[in-house]
Chains A and B, each alone.
Chain A
Amino acid sequence: MRLNHHRVGHLLSPYLDGELLPKEAVAVQEHLLECAACREVYDRLRATKALLGELPVAEPPAEFWTAVRAPRGFRFPLTARLPLRWPALRRRVAWVAAAGIVLLALALAPLIKGSLDRLHAAEIGVDLFVREHALQMSTQPLTDRAFLGVVAGDSDLVLVGEPARPGETAP
């Protein structure tokens, strides 16, 4: 079993705690013997762990499990039904017309899409850039993820044409 840097990065902490399967532990050990960079990270983690206090194994608090709940407010799309009582001829004409509309739509799609995209881009304003900046802020070591979730989440909504908060006007 061979592991790459990325995988070893994920396994170092459980390796330190003796939580890996024997074959995984052997693979991590082999990688550490070969790789100075991962060895350095491992030594640092081990030193940090040594500094940390002994933590008691705690039972999750009751409110933790109440927090694990299914999202509310599911909605199912309405299904539309075509009336089936039309005479056969009228139905045939309708099918031909529908096929014509589909062909026309396919031909015009790139043009329409391009125009819509341009219109949409013109409406975006700064939200796309604020979202991308907030996502990249997560690479900064001291940034708070809960706050970034608010900023990036609000921008997601604005980018699909919804107001960031109910009651606000859509952008």
Chain B
Amino acid sequence: MIIALISRALAVSAVLVLVATEVNFAAPPPALAPARILQLALDAPRLVDYEGTKVVTALRGGRVETITVAESHKRPDSIRLEYLSPEDLAGRLIVDNGAVTWHYEPRLNMAFEGPTLEGGVLSRDLTMLLRNYRVSALGVEDVIGRQAYVIGLDPIRRGVRRQLWVDRATGTVLRSEERDPSRGVILSTYFSRISFSLNQPEAYFQFRKPAGARLFKMFATEAGSMSPAALQARVRFAVLIPPVLPEGYTFRGGALSRFGSLESVYLRYSNGGNLISFFEAPAGSIGWPSAGQRTTVEGQPARLVDLGYFRVLIWEQRGLRVTAVGTVPTETLLTVAGHIAAGREQALVQDVSTMIQSDPTTVRKLRGEGLTFPEVARTIVLSQRLGTDLPTTVRFVRGSLTATDLAGKLGMRPEALQKMVEQAAGDIKGVPALKHPR
């Protein structure tokens, strides 16, 4: 009897020990703030090398396509991509050493040399992302046998939602998903296999042109960044600056783009996670696309080309061909284009300067730096309230200066600054803003 009781007690203890061990194995990782996890993901390429097989599923021209690619990364900013499938893409090779990208197409024995695809790796910044996206921790999941933090990035305004699976041990993004509010998932990626710490040779990230291959140098856009005002001095046509954009998008740079005889002005706007590009060229210098659907912008014929992940809208106004490219919803692209095509620049300069009691010259100067009218109004009002100079205020409004840094400079508490910013936003409500279609 005693022996039976002892053996039962032992059995129960063994089960308890096993359960405890199991519980210990399944213990959740220490909680990390979502912004910290995002920072881990942004810093990871600078810290780890990896080699893996990635599966990309994307919407291309209305149909879903699955692409398999062997991806190798060497810190901080070198990448090698060998496409394995589908069959028509198999063999494509992209090698990027952080300064130049080479693209080799074996079926044509053609090589292309162009700007790097890794341009942003060394200057990845959270400020704009945190300003325009709500970052939330969604738990921990297993991805190919590795524990991964799951975080969601929801745009504060309408736009593409992202979900990332960030490797707990290395910070590498093992899986990602982008979801368009109107069409569901538009891009998903995941590693089906990955190895870290390989110490890959430099030579693997240098391209050697195969014998007989034709090499095309494809540096169409000038390096560096120019303001719209500086670009205006370089071209013979009037550079159009978007009067309004979806809230959160701000000017990130301008350049001249040249391809053959086609010269266009390129302006780009970003919200930290996505980009809207505007290309402006004389109307006669480029063909009207045969693809896409017919639409109108301010009553004028326009063409919308839906490439799946990217949408392209083309229209003409006053002898210029304007092309907008972005991942924003079609309605947003059409609304932005409508504001540009309305051609009310001078009237808006007068209206806004009257509304915020500023001189039109200042408004025009800030427009020449690429600011939208709501940004111009916010900059001038904040500069007046805070006593800051215009360049500093522009940096703050554009997100390259954080609220904490500005508050520190001014010797005030960040909460007090936040309150002043909110008050200023209330005072400029009359300034035209983009009405988001629902």
Contact = CB atoms under 8 A, between A and B. Distances in A.
Chain B binds chain A: yes
A122 B287 contact: yes
Interface stretch (B13-21, B304-312, B346-354, B380-388): B304-312
B379 interface: no
A9 B106 contact: no
**Chain B: number of interface residues, binned into ranges:** 35 or more
A121 B195 contact: no
Contact of A121 (B77, B124, B211, B287): B287
B76 A9 contact: yes
Contact of B47 (A13, A70, A166): A13
Contacts of B164: 142
Interface residues of A, number: 73
A133 B274 contact: no
Contact of A147 (B114, B195, B309, B314): B309
A124 B277 contact: no
A138 B40 CA distance: 18
A68 interface: yes
B120 A76 contact: no
Contacts of A142: 41, 129, 153, 162, 164, 173, 176, 273
Given A64-B51, A148-B117, A128 B257 contact: yes
A146 B286 contact: no
A91 interface: no
Interface in B108-138: 108-110, 112, 114-120, 122-125, 129
29 contacts: A12-B46, A13-B46, A48-B43, A52-B47, A53-B168, A60-B195, A64-B198, A73-B107, A114-B261, A117-B262, A118-B285, A121-B261, A121-B287, A124-B262, A126-B314, A126-B325, A128-B220, A128-B262, A132-B221, A133-B325, A134-B310, A135-B117, A138-B117, A139-B275, A142-B173, A147-B56, A151-B310, A152-B114, A156-B114
Interface string B252-278: 100001011110101010101111010
A162 B289 contact: no
Contact of B120 (A56, A138, A150, A166): A138
A92 interface: no
Given A53-B169, A73-B106, 19 more contacts: A10-B122, A45-B46, A51-B36, A52-B170, A52-B171, A64-B195, A71-B91, A72-B91, A114-B261, A121-B259, A123-B287, A126-B314, A133-B268, A138-B118, A141-B272, A142-B273, A145-B71, A146-B69, A156-B105
A49 B75 CA distance: 14
Interface of chain A: mostly helix, strand, loop or mixed: helix
A82 interface: no
Given A53-B169, A55-B197, A72-B91, A135 B115 contact: yes
A12 B264 CA distance: 38
Contacts of A71: 91, 93, 104, 106, 210
B67 interface: yes
A149 interface: yes
Interface of A: 9-10, 12-13, 44-45, 48-49, 51-53, 55-58, 60-61, 64, 67-68, 70-77, 114, 116-118, 120-126, 128-153, 156-157, 159-160, 162, 165-167
Contacts of B211: 74, 76
A12 B121 CA distance: 14
Interface string B14-53: 0000000000000000001000100111110011100100
A166 B400 CA distance: 44
B88 interface: yes
B365 to A, nearest CB: 26
A108 B382 CA distance: 59
B291 interface: yes
Interface in B332-391: none
Interface string B202-218: 00100000111100101
Contacts of A56: 197
Q: Counting chain A CB atoms within 10 Å of each CB, which of B43, B88, B110, B291 scores highest? A: B43
Interface of B: 32, 36, 39-43, 46-48, 51, 54, 56, 58, 67, 69-72, 75-77, 79, 81-83, 88-89, 91-94, 96, 98, 101, 103-110, 112, 114-120, 122-125, 129, 153, 162, 164, 168-171, 173, 176, 187, 189, 195-200, 204, 210-213, 216, 218, 220-221, 252, 257, 259-262, 264, 266, 268, 270, 272-275, 277, 279, 285-287, 289-291, 305, 307, 309-310, 312, 314, 323, 325-326
Given A48-B47, A64-B198, A136-B277, A144 B76 contact: no
A147 B81 contact: no
Given A133-B277, A138-B119, A142-B176, A159 B43 contact: no
B117 A152 contact: yes
Q: Counting chain B CB atoms within 10 Å of each CB, which of A12, A13, A145 scores highest? A: A145
A113 to B, nearest CB: 8
Contacts of B204: 68
A139 B71 CA distance: 19
A126 B314 CA distance: 9
A140 B274 contact: yes
Nearest to B29: A53
B203 to A, nearest CB: 10
Nearest to B253: A136
B43 A165 contact: no
A28 B24 CA distance: 43
Contacts of B83: 149-150
